[in-house]
Every structure is written in structure tokens, then in C-alpha cells.
Amino acid sequence: MPDERVRRLLRELPSIEELLQAAESRGLLGEYPRERIADALRIVVEQSRDRLLRIAPAEATEELVAGESLLREAANRLKVESQPRLRRVLNASGVVIHTNLGRSRLAPSAFARVEQAALHYSNLEYDLAAGARGSRHDHVEGLLRGLTGAAGAMVVNNNAAAVLLMLAALAEGREVVVSRGQLVEIGGSFRIPDIMRLSGARLVEVGTTNKTHFSDYERSLTDDTALLLRVHTSNFKVVGFAEEVPVERLVELGRNHQVLVADDLGSGALLDLPASWKEPSVASSLQAGVDVVSFSGDKLLGGPQAGILLGTAEVIERLKRHPFARAVRVDKMTLAALEGTLLLYQDPASARREIPTLRYLERGPQETLRLAERLAELLGELGESAGIKDAAVCVRESVGKAGGGSLPLLEIPSHAVALRSGVEASRLEAALRRAPLPLIGRVTQDELWLDVLALDEEELEEVANTLVWALRQGPAEDLAGD
Ligand SMILES: *Cc1c(COP(=O)(O)O)cnc(C)c1O
């Protein structure tokens, strides 16, 4: 039984109708539909009632039932609800292809293609020369063939879909041989054995976790073998006593026994990367003679989320005809972004200059040092004019990563601005995530580190502004707003 004072306060809670009238007089009704305001009011009144019943009687204040504060809370709610949840962030994590932050940024010219495709009608499936129905695959197929030398090409929604389609179309009801060392989980729910089951193909595991030999594959072949699948172990490495069979040897085995060979490359680099990265390229896989390769559009390629399939004309034709193809088909904005990205690859120098993912990965420590020094300088200037005195900033050598399940062990030399202030680093890091333009940094040894590897030069001022914003919030503020 609530005490007398709480009961009085509960009675004093205004009705929704009274609150709506007050909202009207404050002009809230003009900003939102009446029904939405009423919904918001109902929620905040309900919350106040719950709180009154839960808290100690001494804490039950008039504030909890005041029309003014209920209205303010409802107005805040409406404002938050009206803001997009999917928002831009500044990536100072030092991870270039950060899956949680949207993997790759598009090159501006690729984005321009998306804008056109999204705002206007297009010849998506219309053959302008013939005046008849065309195929959406045509737009990037020629480009992909030209860039890679593959005879056939197809694009689907993402690489997970590409692998599923390969397995279903080429091996449903039959056997697919995979090395035990390659039965990977890529993250979330993408696991090779699960995808295999879903596709209707039967998994035949060969070898051991660390070593699989040619003879293991050879012995596994039966009349029911449809496919030899290689999966690039893109997000981990087995080091030490380890052995995989090179894809050339799998092709040799496949040819001798009329079994197809598929290669899930994961990242799919189209340009030559430094040899020390040991990332298999699309070209090397195709040259080895595999029947089909698949890779993501938004990893090392630096384009939109997509799954790209390249291979023999006959295999690609089988993939296109499979019923799954429609379920995993690529949408027009993705196609536009991919075409824009691939056009840049026609001149590798442009690709390296214009595609953010490639530019960041190849920046080098001199460039990251220059950017970090510039950021430190901006922080000094802005901090001073904002009256922030207790922050110590310095530039430190940092180690960036490719990320996105690409090149897991590769350390990319980079630089970060490290900051110590009156606010504990972990609290500052949390406050930055809640800034109007959220900034994602990391905490290293009680310092806040802002790595410049995946930042554009034009973003440095925004980074500095966000940091100054967070420092001015003071130590207590970062807990508010949940
Ligand atoms: C990333 C990856 C996938 C999944 O690709 P998505 O584009 O994320 O669907 C599949 N296989 C490998 C080897 C990968 O690295």
C-alpha cells in the first residue's frame, strides 16, 4: 500500500487530455501529429506512475507529476524518435574495414552513380538498343570480365549469398569436399557447415584442423562428389605445423575427376597488394583455373555490400538459372555503386586514389604521422578557445588493422592522437559515442586514442570539434542520455 503522500501525487498526475491542451498552447501540436503526441504523453505518464510506486516515499517529488516536466519529457521522446537511428560516425578506431561501422566508404564517383539510380528511372533491366527487356546482370558483367579475365560474372546481395548459391546450384543433394582447417565461421551466423546444410549439399570434411594433404582430398572422392571447395581462412591464421593444399593442386584433382572447384576468397583483392600481406588475389585464383570464385564487394574491393561470382561461362549460367538467384539478387543502388567502383579499377592509380578503403590501407606511416600531427594541432587550437586546460595531447605510433575479416594478423603502421584529461579515458570514450556526430576511438593504457588511419583529412576538424564537445560535457555527463 503506497503511503499517503505517494497516493496524493498519483491522484495529481494530469490526464492525457489536460496535457494535450497544454501541449497545444506550447505549439507542440504543430510539430507532430496529435496521435503521436498523445502516445508519447501516455508513455511518460505511465513511467511516472511506475516510478512513484517503486521509489522510496521520501524521493516522491512534485516534479514527477508536474505537467511541465511531463511535457518536456514527451517532447524529448518525440525528438529522439524523429531522428534517424542509422547515422554517420567518425571512425578513429584504426580499423579500416570495420564491419560494425559499415565496412567500406564509397568513392565519391561511385556514390554519384547511386544517387542517379536512386532518384531516377534507369535501364536496370531494359535494353535501350533493342527497346526490350534486358538483364540487370549485364551492367557490371562486362566490366568484371574485362578487369579479371573471367569468362562469366554475376553479382548477388553479399558473399554469404554467393556461397549459398554456389553450393545449391552446383552441389545440391551431392557431396562437397572441404578441408577441416577451412570450416570457418565468418561472424554472426555465417558458418560453412551451416550454409552447406542450408544449401542441400552434403559436407565431406577432410584432413585435420592444422594439416590437410592432397591425398586427403584424393581419397574423399566418390561418384557423388560434385565440388571441391576452398575457403579462405580470412579471419584467423593457423601458424606453426600447418599445411593447406594450394588451389592449383585442387584444380588438377578436379580436372582429373570431372569435379568442379570453387574458391570462397572472402576479401577478393582486384589489385596487387604487398606480397607480405599474403592475401590471395582474384587473379591468382582464376589463373589457377578454378571454376568459380566468390568474394565480397565491401571488403578489400572498397565498394558496396555485394557478393561477386566469377567463373566459367557455363558455371555462371547455372548460377543465374537457379531459383535462389532471384532470392539473393542485387538491388539497383548496389549495382550502381559497384559499377562506379569498378569503373575506377580500369585505371589502378585512380582506384588507389579515389577508393577510401584502398587509400587508407596504403597510406603509410609518413602520411598518418602528418595527419595525427594536424589533428593534435587542431585540438590544441580548439581546446584553447573552448577554455579546456587539463587535457594533454600527444602523437603516438599506433597499429591499425584491415578488419572486416580481412588480413587478421596484418599490422598496419599508423599514428594516433593520445589524450589524457581530467575525465577518465573510458568515460570520455563513452561520451564520444553519444556526441551529435559520434566518434569511435579506443582506450589504451588509460589514454583515449584516436587513430587517423581511417579518417579523411577533411574530417579532422570534425574529430577535434567532437572531442572538445565531449570534454566540455564534463565527467558526469557521459552517463546521461541512456
Ligand atoms: C566475409 C566472408 C564471407 C561473407 O561475406 P559477406 O559479404 O559478409 O556476406 C564469406 N566467406 C569468407 C571467406 C569471408 O571472408
SS (H, E, C) the chain: CCCHHHHHHHHHCCCHHHHHHHHHHCCHHHHCCHHHHHHHHHHHHHHHHHHHHHCCHHHCCHHHHCHHHHHHHHHHHHHHHHCCCCCCCEECCCECCEHHHCECCCCHHHHHHHHHHHHCCCCCCEECCCCEECCCCHHHHHHHHHHHCCCEEEEECCHHHHHHHHHHHHHCCCEEEEEHHHCCEEECCEEHHHHHHHHCCEEEEECCCCECCHHHHHHHCCCCEEEEEEECCCCCCCCCCCECCCHHHHHHHHHHCCCEEEEEEECCECCCCCHHHCCCEHHHHHHHCCCEEEEECCCCCCCCCCEEEEECHHHHHHHHHCCHHHHCECCHHHHHHHHHHHHHHCCHHHHHHHCHHHHHHCCCHHHHHHHHHHHHHHHHHHHHHCCCCCCEEEEEEEEEECECCECCCCCEEEEEEEEECCCCHHHHHHHHHCCCCCEECEEECCEEEEECCCCCHHHHHHHHHHHHHHHHHCCCHHHCCC
How many Cβ atoms from other residues are within 10 Å of residue 146's Cβ?
13
Give tens-digit pLDDT for 319-344.
999 999 999 999 999 999 999 999 99
Band the pLDDT of 403: cuts 50, 70, 90: confident
Q: Name the closest-CA residue to atom 6, ligand 1.
A: 159
Share of the chain above pLDDT 70, in %: 97
Burial class (CB in 10 A: 0-12, 13-18, 19+), 128: exposed
Is 405 close to ligand 1, i.e. is its CB under 6 Å away? yes
Query: Is the CB of 181 inside a 6 Å radius of any atom of ligand 1?
Result: no
**Taking 90 as the threshold, does the pLDDT of residue 445 lie above it?**
no
pTM over 0.85: yes
Q: In the chain, what are the domains?
A: 4-82 (no CATH), 90-98+363-479 (3.90.1150.180), 107-354 (3.40.640.10)
d(CA 166, CA 316): 9
pLDDT for res 481: 40
> Which residue's CA is minimally distant from atom 2 of ligand 1?
266
pLDDT at position 1 is 63
Q: Is the CB of 159 under 6 A from ligand 1?
A: yes
Q: What is the mean pLDDT of the chain?
A: 92
In angstroms, the first-to-last Cα distance of the chain is 31
Q: What is the mean pLDDT of residues 388-393?
A: 84
Question: What residue owns the CA closest to ligand 1's atom 12?
Answer: 266
Residue 259 above 50 pLDDT? Answer: yes
Q: Is the pLDDT of residue 361 over 50?
A: yes
Here the cell at position 226 is 560434385
Q: Report pLDDT for 345.
A: 97
Give the model's pLDDT for residue 98: 94
Q: Which residue reads 585464383 in cell numbers?
A: 285
Ligand 1 atom closest to Cα of 184?
13
Ligand 1 lined by 266 (C-beta under 6 Å): yes
Q: Taking the C-alpha atoms of 224, 230, 231 and 232 in order, what is their torsion angle to the nearest 10 degrees? A: 180
Is residue 97's pLDDT more than 70?
Answer: yes
CB distance 234 to ligand 1 below 6 Å: yes
Confidence of residue 186 (pLDDT cuts 50, 70, 90): confident
Average pLDDT over residues 309-318: 98
- 58 falls in which pLDDT band (50, 70, 90)? confident
Distance from C-alpha of 394 to C-alpha of 28, rounded to nearest angstrom: 47
Q: Tell me: the pLDDT tens digits for 217-226?
A: 999 999 999 9
Instruction: Answer whether 439's CB lies under 8 Å from 433's CB.
Output: yes
Mutate to test the pocket of ligand 1, among 98, 104, 155, 159 (most ligand atoms within 8 A of CB): 159
Q: Whose CA is nearest to atom 1 of ligand 1?
A: 266
Beta bridge partners of 418: 394, 449
The amino acid sitting at 467 is L
Cross-strand partners of 443: 448
- The Cα–Cα gap between 196 and 163 comes to 9
Tally the residues of the chain. 482
Once rounded to an integer, what is the mean pLDDT over residues 74-86?
91
Report whether residue 334 contacts ligand 1, using a CB cutoff of 6 Å: no
The more confident residue out of 285 and 480 is 285
pLDDT band, very low/low/confident/very high, at 474 (cuts 50, 70, 90): low
Whether pLDDT at 2 is above 80: no
Q: What is the model's pLDDT at position 479?
A: 43
Angle formed at CA 36 by CA 35 and CA 40, multiple of 5 degrees: 120
240 and 188 in contact (C-beta within 8 Å)?
A: no
Structure confidence by residue, pLDDT tens digits, 15-46: 999 999 988 888 877 889 999 999 999 999 99
- Residue 380: CB partners within 8 Å, gap ≥ 6? 393
Residue 307 CA: which ligand 1 atom is closest?
Answer: 7
What pLDDT is recorded for position 27?
A: 81
Q: What is the pLDDT of residue 475?
A: 56
pLDDT at 482: 38
Q: What percent of the chain has pLDDT over 90?
A: 75
> CA-CA distances (angstroms) from residue 88 to 28, 250, 291, 378?
28, 44, 40, 21
Report the separation in Å between the CA atom of 169 and the middle of ligand 1, taken as the mean of its atom positions: 18
Q: Is 14 in the pocket of ligand 1 (CB under 6 A)?
A: no
Q: Is the CB of 303 under 6 A from ligand 1?
A: no
Residue position matching grid coordinates 572538445: 468
Give the atom of ligand 1 at the shortest distance from the alpha carbon of 406.
15
Cα of 208 to ligand 1 centre, how many Å?
Answer: 22
What is the Cα Rg of the chain in Å?
28
Spacing, Cα 97 to ligand 1 middle (Å): 12
The whole-number average pLDDT for the span 267-275 is 86
pLDDT at residue 478, as a whole number: 41
Q: Is the CB of 264 under 6 A from ligand 1?
A: yes
pLDDT of residue 184: 84
Instruction: Kindly state the cell numbers that stand for 398.
Output: 599506433
Mean pLDDT of 211-217: 93
Task: Tell which one of 186, 265, 279, 328 to mutate to probe ligand 1, the residue whose CB is within 8 A of the most ligand atoms.
Answer: 186
| Model confidence pLDDT, tens digit, residues 128-179 | 999 999 999 999 999 999 999 999 999 999 999 999 999 999 999 999 999 9
Ligand 1 centroid – CA 89 distance (Å): 24
